[in-house]
Amino acid sequence: MTTALASALQDVDLVPGNTYVCQVKQMRVEVRVTDASCITPSGMLEYSEEMLDPWVEMTGQLSGTVVQVIPGKLPTPDIPELPEKSP
């Protein structure tokens, strides 16, 4: 994919600092153009420029208890009775 994308962009007049957006197969594709100084010698992007996929899947509620909250003041707690000290 990277080779095909690079060869397709060879004929395009890209300007550093510009971002190009198009839609392919019902998905938004964004190409951000930077100058060569943003790429490390290994050819990889800087760590701060990597986009990571989320690794947590949030599922719907399978079971549990529903609690309805009513805003307002809470009642004061009961004061416990302390036993008298014996001598």
pTM of whole model > 0.75? no
Report the pLDDT value the prediction gives residue 6, as an integer from 0 to 100.
80
pLDDT category at 41 given cuts 50, 70, 90 is: low
Report the pLDDT value the prediction gives residue 44, as an integer from 0 to 100.
56
List the structure tokens of 56.
């947590």
Average pLDDT of span 38-47: 56
Residue carrying the six token digits 């009775």: 81
Pair 16, 24: CB distance under 8 Å: no
